[in-house]
Structure 1
Amino acid sequence: MNVVVFDLETTGLSPERDAIVEIGALRVRGGQVVASERFESLVRPLNAAGEVLRIPWHAQRVHGISDEMVRGAPDLGRVLPDFLDFVGDSAVVAHNIGFDGGFMRAAARRHGLVWSPPAEYCTVQLSRQAFPRERTHNLDVLAQRLGLSFAPGARHRSLGDVQVTAEAFVRLTERLRAGV
């Protein structure tokens, strides 16, 4: 299986009102995370009029990305085509695909592009299938359940979350195939 596992950091929760400030992705081929095939970029957030958006304090508190960090970053109009090229015709995976996929669909539409991967997989849903008796399936709990850990300072940064999500995807799919 060839998939791209991705994660976004944003200024808020609304794909229509908020903006992407970071994209991270890794490729998984044949059940192995390919660390050398990665995509990572900070994104300068702009509104529909092309004005720079400030990153709200509540978002900064979650991901640690500040206005200063994105000041020299490319805007989404430059980053998104490169990311879509990286994804190509691969299926995609995210932890809570509804959130990340919703942002990607809205961003692509705003930039005259199309986000239409052949399949979308959600590690939250896979976790629910693999651990049906468990009530909590957030990424921290899932990582702990699968014996995975985040690199220091990497939690809630796109590539840090992607590394754990990609390993979780591999382990969850193996577990589900084995019927464990």
Structure 2
Amino acid sequence: MDVVVFDLETTGLSPEKDAVVEIGAVRIVNGRVDESLRYETLVKPTNAAGDVIRIPWYTERIHGISDEMVQHAPTIGEVLPEFLEFVNGSAVVAHNIGFDGGFMRANAARLGLAWNPAAEFCTVQLSRRAFPKERAHNLTVLAERLGLNFAPGGRHRSFGDVQVTAQAYVRLMELLQDAVK
């Protein structure tokens, strides 16, 4: 199945109170990651009223995205229709789909758009199935477990996380299919 793997960086953890500051995505076609089919943009963070909000220092420390970096970026109102067109009703994958999907649903609802992918898959849940005796399933640990590496400066940036999540998804699906045989 062809899927879109995506990742968001945000100002915090609440889809209702916080904002998206970066979206990265890549398409998997016929079981292969196709980085020529990618979507990547910074996003100027805005609240529900459309007012620009600042990126808190503690989230900037995680993803490295500053207010200056997003100063001239498009808003979620400009970006989300483009991203939905990129997804085009495909199934989507994220590492912790509840988080990323929650932000997409909340923003789409605010903008009068529909977040309706064909299906949603979570690499955290797939990792738990593939490695049931392991306790940790965060992206860093999963990457190590599968022998995957982040590009320099790629961890906690949307496209860097997407590259590893996409590779992890392909490998996890292979592992789980082999386990069923």
Counterpart of 2:2 in structure 1: which amino acid?
A: N
Matched, 1:72 2:76: no
Post-superposition offset of 1:48: 2.3
CA distance in 1, matches of 2:66, 2:16: 21
Matched with 1:99 is: 99
CA distance in 2, matches of 1:95, 1:48: 25
Matched with 2:165 is: 165
CA distance in 1, matches of 2:25, 2:48: 25
CA distance in 2, matches of 1:49, 1:31: 41
Post-superposition offset of 1:50: 2.1
Q: CA RMSD in A?
A: 0.8
Post-superposition offset of 1:51: 1.6
CA distance in 2, matches of 1:174, 1:23: 27
- The 3-state SS of whatever aligns with 1:9 is strand
- The 3-state SS of whatever aligns with 2:24 is strand
Matched, 1:29 2:29: yes
Unaligned ranges ≥5, structure 1: none
CA distance in 2, matches of 1:137, 1:128: 7
- The 3-state SS of whatever aligns with 1:53 is coil
Deviations 1:89-139 (A, max 9, x none): 200000000000000000000111010111000000000000011010000
- The 3-state SS of whatever aligns with 2:4 is strand
- The 3-state SS of whatever aligns with 2:148 is coil
- The 3-state SS of whatever aligns with 1:179 is helix
Matched with 2:17 is: 17
Unaligned ranges ≥5, structure 2: none
Matched, 1:57 2:57: yes
TM-score (norm 2): 0.98
Matched with 2:144 is: 144
CA distance in 1, matches of 2:6, 2:112: 21
Deviations 1:11-44 (A, max 9, x none): 0000000000000000001110001000000000
Matched with 2:7 is: 7
CA distance in 2, matches of 1:112, 1:178: 42
Tell me the matched-pair count: 180
TM-score (norm 1): 0.99
Matched with 1:38 is: 38
Counterpart of 2:159 in structure 1: which amino acid?
A: L
Q: Hey, which bits of structure 1, 4+ residues long, moved more than 2 A?
A: none
Counterpart of 2:92 in structure 1: which amino acid?
A: V
Deviations 1:57-84 (A, max 9, x none): 0110110000000000000110000000
